[in-house]
Amino acid sequence: MAIPQTNFNPPFNITRASHLVLTAQDLAASRDFYTEVIGLVVSDEDANTIYLRGVEERGHHSLTLKRTTAAPTCECIGMHVFSEEDLDKAKFHFDRSGVPAKFVDVPFQVRTLRFSDAMGTPVELCAIMETRPRLHVEIHTHKGARALRMDHYQVLVPDVLAAAKFYMDLGFRISDYLVVANHTIGTFLYRKNNPWDLVLLHRAGPQFHHCGYVVESLYDLIRGLDTAGNIGFGENVEHGPGRHGLSHSYYTYLRDPDGHRTELLLPAIQVIDRYDEPVAYSIDPTSTGNRWGFPPPRSWFEEASEFVGVPLRRPPAEGDPLTLEKYLASKSWRRAPDAMRKSA
């Protein structure tokens, strides 16, 4: 089945994945996790809400944490459009297309349009936030992994191609996509100039799987992990460090105190040009999916954050990924099979 085509004249101009709203049961614990380990800085906070940004970010927040007594969820993912005018174009477009969309008030954002995408994922658009100083050169004040900026979201959806088509109609391009037995089970969609703003993966959904923050170097990533170990979050490292397959970069996934997942990644490649055509990767179900490093544990495949009030839909078949648990059960370390090795 063919992947959808990008609409290169989209009805309005989404520029990038930009901000995220999560709920948390213990704000103090989450504050420690995100400021000390991930290295975000607090732009504003009150008793029930914390607004955080990466050390490089000029926008007021890329992560908002809201206190909850209920099960922790994802309230919405957020994207930037280029101008306030784009918000009006978006409202017009969604109204005409039958997509639920309405303006809402969000602190520190000028105007905010909330809509639900083809899978029901709540998404927030805004053009202008309050700004704060970029702090990336204030290195002596940085903590943990000193995360630079929000990069992308991964969302689990029951129909990857339908979800992708929704965004490709809005101008998103595909850098690469995952195929199992002729079935597209994942797409890497982008608006800004790297391969990821929105990763869609085939599972029951919509669910928020993780957000990705860019760090400057492996040493920063490791400093985040050392800090995690030192202050009591050592066991929150769920997966990694390792190197993704598909020519992607290094990764580490951590779970926050409420189980929400964050990926730390290195700066990505640049994809801008018209000749950056989508690359298809056939997934070998017996492969770890990595260049090196264990496959993800079962939790990585099975656990995700629900979106507030959005019903879960299961796909016809969920697949049977190679979990770390299965991998270890079948692994033999002696005499790597010849087929595995090629000459250097």
* Cβ contact 252:217 at 8 Å: no
Strand order in the sheet with 74-81: 41-45, 49-53, 63-67, 14-24, 74-81, 122-126, 112-116, 101-104
> Please, what is the minimum distance in Å from the beta carbon of residue 119 to a copy of itself?
24
Q: Which lies closer to a copy of itself via its Cβ, residue 103 or residue 219?
A: 219
> Please, what is the minimum distance in Å from the beta carbon of residue 205 to a copy of itself?
19
Q: Which residues contact 283 (CB under 8 A, 6 or more apart)?
A: 178, 179, 180, 185, 289
Strand-pairing partners, residue 210, are 154
Q: Which lies closer to a copy of itself via its Cβ, residue 96 or residue 275?
A: 275
> Please, what is the minimum distance in Å from the beta carbon of residue 90 to a copy of itself?
15
Q: Which lies closer to a copy of itself via its Cβ, residue 169 or residue 276?
A: 276
Q: Which lies closer to a copy of itself via its Cβ, residue 163 or residue 228?
A: 228
Q: Which lies closer to a copy of itself via its Cβ, residue 97 or residue 141?
A: 141
> Please, what is the minimum distance in Å from the beta carbon of residue 84 to a copy of itself?
8
> Please, what is the minimum distance in Å from the beta carbon of residue 26 to a copy of itself?
8
Q: Which lies closer to a copy of itself via its Cβ, residue 82 or residue 103?
A: 82
Q: Which lies closer to a copy of itself via its Cβ, residue 103 or residue 292?
A: 292
Q: What's the token pair of residue 146?
A: 């000193």
Q: Which long-range contacts (CB under 8 A, 24 or more apart) does 82-89 make?
A: 82/13, 82/15, 82/127, 83/13, 83/127, 84/110, 84/111, 84/127, 84/128, 86/12, 86/13, 86/14, 86/125, 86/127, 87/12, 87/111, 87/113, 87/125, 87/126, 87/127, 89/11, 89/12
Q: What is the DSSP letter of 55?
A: T
> Please, what is the minimum distance in Å from the beta carbon of residue 215 to a copy of itself?
11
How do the residues of the chain divide into helix, strand and coil, expressed in percent and rounded to 5? 20, 35, 45
> Please, what is the minimum distance in Å from the beta carbon of residue 44 to a copy of itself?
17
